[in-house]
């Protein structure tokens, strides 16, 4: 047998034929023993002294990586302020450590699933949180620098140490330098911010329900939501004793002015303005009913990016796709990281750019977002209460009542809001993209707020995004995603769609302070009786208004569900000839007729959520 094999080999060699190369793997496989993985912490110097103690701050990077790997491995990184104060994921997991300070529990499934497949997972405590020195600055240079410097260290461009102070220098000799950042909410926001620096080595980001401009988290076209970044900073710093962050917190408090002006603090935290620097690919996920990180964030970020990208839009609120479409999400992440971090040619970058949940657990792929056939369509409110493409004339007035919110506006507006409707649609009408509203408004007082809603008037079964789970119900049974080790299991409670029947759906909202009519950077005093024209944005969305329903535009003053009222609420009169909405539509709205009677069931929260987790 040996002689026969040798003769066959010689025949191949002398014939000049070349043996076929081994086929490239289609996907990374779990070939490494997770129980034997190396767990360690490196403190990376970020070159700042945020807490004013006279020493350059070091941030803790907790690392888990395969011990048997004979070649360098890429990194999946989640940089967060929540590893000790608030927890990560649907089960609010925290980091844990053994008696020697070595990391044991790595929140979420990324380590369990990807380390056996040849990745390192690095969880970074942002400056001023958990075991890191410094102070949080809520999306500013310290937060973003915390994560960027770890990317630099993974690429040999920054210094890491074996201890928070002192210690010896540590290099990432095991790293390929290819980094993918992932995270929900604040964590995904940091991924956006780091990508906007253009740092070399960051190959991809996966922002989930993430902020793209901190101004739009705390303010909206001059209107204020009533909470400020210094409160968030104090929350995430609360578990990191011994550091005095009062000076940094005061910078946040004074920079976030009481009015809604866009100033230097917000400009420093505006990643959309620097989206041209992004070189990493982007896999983006957001709930179209997220009333925490509102959907303007994904819309403006997506539009500003010029890289390979894909997007998932669910009907949920502030929820990770692991908890509403688990198996498909893990599979997509696996292929995404394999392609962008390992270089596998699996085609994940091809195919439809968007996947959108149309009804609970019913998804539709779309070639583009916004929809390729969506056209910015100008809709005009008519004096008769109709909404259509024809120009209008006349005036209409409402009286600002800061105690009323959007649900009342839809079901029983009275004199507090104005409703304009297309009437019953003969065919489906898709709203896909970011709308704007232009008002020419005359206030009766020297201060005024203006808010607007796009509403689908008609019955539907939706995810109950206003419920405690924001569209999901968490069961008691578990399924597992990867390998487990003592103190760090890979099993998570199974979730299902929390559904609710409604008679209308608010699909987009926007708010403005009329005092910012001329500029977002400086409000101006209003003169009662004088007309002012202002254009403001509505939240990004992708929603199909079905045949038999109607699309309505509602305009009012202070939406008490979200924004603070003016010092002197009064009566506002609209010049209908110079008031309109620009709505990206796929389909043609019918000629305006009388609008249907407003329905009676509400389903949205009475106040905005302000928990950035």
Structurally, the chain folds into a number of domains equal to 2
Q: Which phi-psi region, left, alpha or beta, contains residue 15 (left: φ > 0; alpha: ψ -120 to 50)?
A: alpha
Shared domain for 192 and 46, answered yes or no, is yes
Residues in the chain: 613
- Judged against a pLDDT cut of 90, whether residue 242 lies above it is answered with no
Catalytic residue among 270, 290, 400, 498: 290
pLDDT on residue 588:
76
In this prediction, residue 238 has a pLDDT band, given cuts at 50, 70 and 90, of confident
CA 550 to CA 597: how far, in whole Å? 11
Q: What is the CATH number of the domain that holds 426?
A: 2.60.120.260
Shared domain for 360 and 401, answered yes or no, is no
Residue 605 lies in a domain: no
Q: What pLDDT, in 10s, does the model give residues 356-372?
A: 999 999 999 999 999 99
Helix H or strand E encompassing 503: strand 499-513
290 has catalytic annotation: yes
Question: Please, what is the average pLDDT of the chain?
Answer: 92
In this prediction, residue 394 has a pLDDT band, given cuts at 50, 70 and 90, of very high
Shared domain for 558 and 507, answered yes or no, is yes
Q: Per-residue pLDDT averaged across 482-493, rounded?
A: 97
> Which of 366, 398, 421 is at the close of a domain?
366
Structural domain containing residue 101: 34-212+273-366
CA 51 to CA 128: how far, in whole Å? 8
Residue 16 lies in a domain: no
Shared domain for 330 and 199, answered yes or no, is yes
Residue 223 lies in a domain: no
- Judged against a pLDDT cut of 80, whether residue 341 lies above it is answered with yes
Residue 427 lies in a domain: yes
- Provide, rounded to the nearest whole percent, the portion of the chain with pLDDT above 90: 89
Catalytic residue among 318, 380, 543, 549: 318
pLDDT on residue 15:
36
Q: What is residue 398's DSSP assignment?
A: E
In this prediction, residue 562 has a pLDDT band, given cuts at 50, 70 and 90, of very high
Catalytic residue among 80, 132, 175, 185: 185
Shared domain for 457 and 433, answered yes or no, is yes
Phi and psi angles of residue 36, each rounded to the nearest 5 degrees, phi first: -95, 5
Q: Per-residue pLDDT averaged across 377-384, rounded?
A: 93
Shared domain for 362 and 386, answered yes or no, is no
In this prediction, residue 16 has a pLDDT band, given cuts at 50, 70 and 90, of very low
CA 177 to CA 275: how far, in whole Å? 22
Pairing between β-strand 202-208 and β-strand 175-184 as defined by DSSP bridges: parallel
Shared domain for 360 and 394, answered yes or no, is no
pLDDT on residue 100:
95
- Judged against a pLDDT cut of 80, whether residue 590 lies above it is answered with no
Q: Per-residue pLDDT averaged across 590-609, rounded?
A: 39
Residue 140 lies in a domain: yes
Shared domain for 101 and 187, answered yes or no, is yes
Q: Per-residue pLDDT averaged across 262-281, rounded?
A: 98
Shared domain for 329 and 407, answered yes or no, is no
Shared domain for 68 and 202, answered yes or no, is yes
- Judged against a pLDDT cut of 80, whether residue 587 lies above it is answered with yes
- Judged against a pLDDT cut of 60, whether residue 7 lies above it is answered with no
Q: What pLDDT, in 10s, does the model give residues 63-79?
A: 999 999 999 999 999 99
In this prediction, residue 1 has a pLDDT band, given cuts at 50, 70 and 90, of very low
Q: What pLDDT, in 10s, does the model give residues 500-541?
A: 999 999 999 999 999 999 999 999 999 999 999 999 999 999
> Which of 366, 392, 427 is at the close of a domain?
366
Higher pLDDT, 599 or 97: 97
Residue 199 lies in a domain: yes
Shared domain for 579 and 545, answered yes or no, is yes
Q: What is the CATH number of the domain that holds 172?
A: 3.40.50.1820
DSSP 104-118: EE-SSSHHHHHGGGT
Shared domain for 425 and 280, answered yes or no, is no
CA 34 to chain centre: 31
CA 436 to CA 581: how far, in whole Å? 6
Q: What pLDDT, in 10s, does the model give residues 29-57?
A: 999 999 999 999 999 999 999 999 999 99
- Judged against a pLDDT cut of 70, whether residue 3 lies above it is answered with no
CA 555 to CA 589: how far, in whole Å? 19
Question: What residues does 123 pair with on adjacent strands?
Answer: 62, 78
pLDDT on residue 595:
38
Q: Per-residue pLDDT averaged across 301-323, rounded?
A: 98
pLDDT on residue 611:
56
- Provide, rounded to the nearest whole percent, the portion of the chain with pLDDT above 70: 92
Residue 591 lies in a domain: no
Residue 580 lies in a domain: yes
């Amino acid at each position: 047998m040996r002689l026969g094999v040798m003769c066959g080999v010689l025949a191949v060699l002398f014939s000049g034929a070349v043996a076929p190369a081994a086929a490239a793997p289609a996907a990374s496989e779990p070939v490494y023993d997770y129980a034997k993985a190396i767990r360690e912490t490196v403190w990376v110097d970020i070159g700042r002294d945020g807490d004013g103690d006279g020493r350059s701050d070091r941030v803790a990077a907790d690392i888990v990586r395969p011990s048997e790997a004979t070649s360098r491995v890429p990194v999946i990184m989640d940089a967060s302020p929540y590893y000790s104060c608030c927890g990560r994921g649907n089960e609010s997991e925290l980091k844990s450590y053994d008696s020697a300070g070595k990391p044991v529990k790595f929140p979420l499934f990324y380590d369990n699933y990807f380390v056996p497949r040849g990745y390192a997972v690095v969880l970074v405590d942002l400056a001023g949180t958990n075991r890191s020195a410094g102070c949080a600055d809520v999306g500013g240079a310290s937060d973003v620098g915390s994560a960027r410097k770890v990317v630099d260290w993974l690429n040999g461009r920054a210094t890491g140490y074996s201890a928070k102070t002192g210690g010896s220098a540590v290099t990432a000799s095991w790293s390929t330098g290819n980094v993918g950042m992932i995270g929900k909410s604040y964590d995904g926001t940091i991924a956006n911010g780091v990508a906007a620096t253009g740092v070399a080595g960051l190959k991809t980001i996966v922002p989930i329900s993430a902020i793209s401009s901190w101004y739009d988290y705390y303010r909206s076209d001059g209107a204020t939501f009533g909470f400020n970044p210094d409160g968030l900073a104090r929350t995430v710093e609360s578990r990191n004793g011994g550091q005095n962050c009062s000076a940094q917190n005061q910078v946040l408090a004074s920079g976030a002015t009481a009015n809604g002006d866009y100033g230097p603090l917000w400009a420093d935290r505006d990643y959309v303005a620097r989206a041209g620097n992004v070189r990493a690919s982007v896999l983006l996920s957001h709930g179209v009913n997220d009333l925490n990180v509102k959907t303007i964030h994904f819309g403006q970020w997506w539009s500003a990016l010029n890289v390979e990208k894909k997007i998932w839009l669910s009907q949920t609120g502030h929820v990770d796709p692991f908890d509403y479409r688990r198996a498909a999400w893990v599979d997509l992440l696996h292929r995404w990281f394999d392609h962008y971090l390992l270089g596998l040619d699996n085609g994940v970058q091809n195919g439809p750019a968007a996947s959108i949940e149309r009804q609970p657990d019913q998804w539709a792929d779309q070639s583009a977002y916004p929809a390729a056939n969506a056209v910015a369509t100008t809709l005009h409110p008519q004096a008769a209460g109709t909404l259509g493409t024809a120009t209008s004339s006349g005036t209409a007035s409402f009286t600002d009542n800061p105690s009323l919110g959007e649900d009342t506006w839809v079901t029983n507006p009275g004199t507090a809001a104005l409703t304009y409707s297309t009437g019953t649609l003969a065919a489906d009408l898709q709203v896909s993209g970011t709308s704007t509203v232009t008002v020419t408004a005359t206030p009766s007082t020297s201060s005024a707020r203006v808010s607007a809603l796009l509403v689908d008037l008609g019955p539907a079964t939706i995810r109950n995004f206003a419920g405690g789970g924001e569209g999901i119900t968490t069961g008691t049974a578990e399924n597992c995603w990867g390998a487990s080790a003592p103190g760090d299991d890979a099993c998570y409670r199974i979730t299902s769609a929390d559904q609710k029947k409604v008679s209308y759906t608010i699909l987009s909202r926007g708010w403005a302070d009329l005092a910012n009519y001329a500029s977002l950077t400086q409000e101006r005093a209003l003169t009662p009786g004088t007309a002012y024209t202002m254009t403001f944005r509505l939240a990004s969305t992708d929603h199909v208004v079905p045949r038999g329903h109607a699309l309505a535009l509602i305009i009012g003053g202070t939406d008490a569900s979200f924004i603070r009222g003016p010092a002197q609420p009064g009566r506002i009169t609209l010049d209908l000839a110079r008031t309109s909405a620009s709505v990206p539509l796929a389909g043609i709205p019918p000629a305006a007729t009388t609008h249907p009677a407003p329905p009676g069931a509400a389903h949205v929260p009475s106040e905005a959520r302000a928990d950035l987790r």
